[in-house]
Chains A and B, each alone.
Chain A
């Protein structure tokens, strides 16, 4: 994979000090994913129904599953960047929650659970030093990045109640000048929007109806022309927590019906075991942040 190398040199005219940032950017058209190696990953606390400290992740297996996922993604033509793992921040692996990316802007997350709030400066530093215009999400509101905010077409679908705040989503819409449709997440097992909803293209998405109330289901049905439901058993295997790169859709194992559907729709689904991350309530999508904008976001075009 060819990577364009950039050096950003900032000169302070008062102190005559130079700050040099080494920027490694793939060309604009190349999918770019941010990941974090699971060096310090583990179940150290319980902040969702999936987590159980007595059901620890197998560390070696987690490392293997994470590397396999990265290899598959790079095999699709995507470039991956890594944020450095930090001891004591086990969920830093779930980079999807770092921020919402919109063009060159990154709207930084503010986590609801204090256990994850330590991740905020880590993500901020990485994004800032790599050239993103980082801004804070609305004051006094919780916002968990791309985990709860996904573009499908020109609309930002945003999950609330479990982790992020509805009023904050509305303010983000005003900040970015985009249409935001907040969707209430009613089942604590599907605590982030990306656990029960996954846009495939600007007009197509998969979702698990059980994650939403009637209002949310109606909004999705009205707004997304090609909307496909995922069965509960497969939703439990994190079928909706998929990484979409072009026509490739990467998920955890255990979603055969979804894969069959995707193939019939012309997609190329790939499954890879991510059982050790499911123990913390995350899967493929949670382990990545799409830095050049999600596949289904129409603002990329």
Chain B
């Protein structure tokens, strides 16, 4: 059982302590809490996990507060005798993985926030920050990084418990400064012009900066006739990476080859004869050529998003799904391999635009550290809300139709170019 608790803001010096073991049956937890209140302090149980089996340990992360620093230290000293250890005052515990592809019990589960761990009395920042992972440490260099459950190797040292770990959540103030337009996360009713101008500015700033811009896109981009707009952004150097599925690439190539998307004539909106076959013929043609790149180089694809990606050296990762036709030869069908490639590709991403895709957006949202600014655009509010609920303050949601959004974005980017 896991319980997260929250309470209103309090003031005064504060420290997190970890109490673990059979803390309920042994009355250690009530005793620690009694100690805190008897000494004039206050506490908040931030997280508690109760063991299921009789031999399973339980775990509590308790925030301790007191009026003064001296009073807090006195309380911490007292409760330390009962095994309540400050998470910042001790080294982290490392346990070697005893099973391939699984963490040791009690592993520290990561957030997407900047994290540090303490080893030999020194704090080390955790690289490749990603939520829902574990932390491993290189025994030679003490370098720490996040590691996914599926990537755990036998004997890999894994951080266990909260002791010797600390998290630096992005402060709201800091985030206001960095991403000023995010006042309410999701809105259908606020003027979008200002928001789109800000997004254009971010893309513009990133164009030549060290940070990269990533587009996560769904096939609706093509269905709505917005492919040309994305192509324009790619040509302008605003998109450095593309994550998509088989569908976006397929319909984009279908349009390049037949002028249709799912058999619908993009320019006229009419149904083409035998149009339902177009996307299959497109996939088949690319499979015969071996890759999208080969299709572009051999003249089979002469326009569209994928064409521009190949021509402008935009890295793309196409992820497979069980409902895919074909799929295109570039589509990666191993889900774990996909995650690994996406993880490697996002390391230098500082801005991510997610357009008209639910599951893909969530998958990428899970991989991104909280410091990456994310804009999620979808006609369906629930997609936008889901992304926002991933716990990143840096996610901004826009509930709008894709085509007008992209049209406005392209014109804002052009305006910035002209005013340069």
> Which residues of A come within 8 Å of B, CB atoms?
140, 154, 160-161, 165-167, 169-171, 173-174, 177-184, 215, 218-219, 222-223
Known: A182-B26, A219-B25. A174 touches B57 (CB 8 A): yes
A-B contact pairs, 7 of them (CB 8 A): A154-B54, A161-B81, A174-B21, A179-B55, A180-B22, A219-B26, A219-B27
**B20 adjacent to chain A (CB < 8 Å):** yes
CA distance A174 to B30 in the complex (A): 21
A180/B27 contact (C-beta < 8 A), A167-B85, A173-B57 known: no
Question: Whole-angstrom distance from the CB of A148 to the nearest CB of chain B?
Answer: 14
Min C-beta distance of A299 to chain B, whole Å:
11
**Counting CB contacts under 8 A, is B82 at the interface?**
yes
Q: A170-B21, A170-B83 are in contact. Are A181 and B55 (CB under 8 A)?
A: no
Is B82 in contact with A184, judged by CB distance below 8 angstroms?
yes
Contact B25 A215 (CB under 8 A): no
Sample of 7 more A-B contacts, CB < 8 Å, known A170-B22, A173-B55, A181-B25: A161-B81, A174-B20, A177-B55, A179-B25, A180-B22, A215-B31, A219-B26
Question: Does B83 lie within 8 Å of A165, measured CB to CB?
Answer: yes
Q: How many residues of B contact A (CB 8 A)?
A: 22
Of all chain B residues, which has the CB nearest A167? B83
- Pick the contact of A223 from B25, B81, B82 — CB < 8 Å? B25
Complex Cα–Cα for A164 and B106 (A): 23
Check: B28 CB closer than 8 A to any chain A CB. Answer: yes
Residues in chain B near residue A165, CB distance under 8 A: 83
Cβ-Cβ contact count across A and B, 8 Å cutoff:
65
A173 in contact with B82 given A154-B54, A179-B54 (CB within 8 Å): no
A154 pairs with B55, CB closer than 8 A: yes
Question: A166 with B28: in contact, given A173-B21, A174-B21, A179-B22 (CB under 8 Å)?
Answer: yes
Quote the shortest CB–CB distance from B23 to chain A (angstroms). Answer: 8
Tell me what chain B mostly uses at the interface: helix, strand, loop, or mixed: loop
Residues A182 and B21 in contact in the complex (CB < 8 Å), given A154-B55, A167-B83: yes
**Of listed B20, B22, B93, residue having the most chain A CB within 10 A:** B22
Give which listed residue, B80, B83, B93, contacts A169 with CB less than 8 A: B83
Over the window 54-94 of chain B, the binary record of Cβ atoms lying under 8 Å from chain A Cβ atoms (1 yes, 0 no) is 11010000000000000000000000111101000010010
- A173 to chain B: closest residue by CB: B21
Give every chain B residue within 8 A of A219 (Cβ-Cβ).
25-27
Instruction: Report which residue of B21, B26, B31, B82 has the largest number of chain A beta carbons within 10 angstroms of its beta carbon.
Output: B26
B81 touches A166 (CB 8 A): yes
Residues of B within 8 A of A183 (CB): 26
With both beta carbons as reference points, the residue of chain A lying nearest to B31 in the complex is identified as A215
Contacts of A180 in B (CB 8 A): 21-22, 26
- Known A-B contacts A165-B83, A179-B22, A180-B22; A170 and B57 likewise in contact (beta carbons under 8 Å): yes
Determine the chain A residues whose CB is within 8 A of the CB of B85 once the complex forms.
Answer: 167
CA distance A294 to B31 in the complex (A): 29
CA distance A265 to B81 in the complex (A): 37
What residues of A have a CB within 8 angstroms of the CB of B82 in the complex?
A: 160, 166, 182, 184
How far in angstroms is the closest Cβ of chain A from B48?
A: 15
Shortest 10 CB-CB distances between A and B: which pairs? A170-B21, A166-B83, A167-B83, A181-B26, A215-B27, A215-B31, A179-B55, A179-B22, A166-B82, A182-B26
Smallest Cβ distance from B307 to chain A, in angstroms?
57
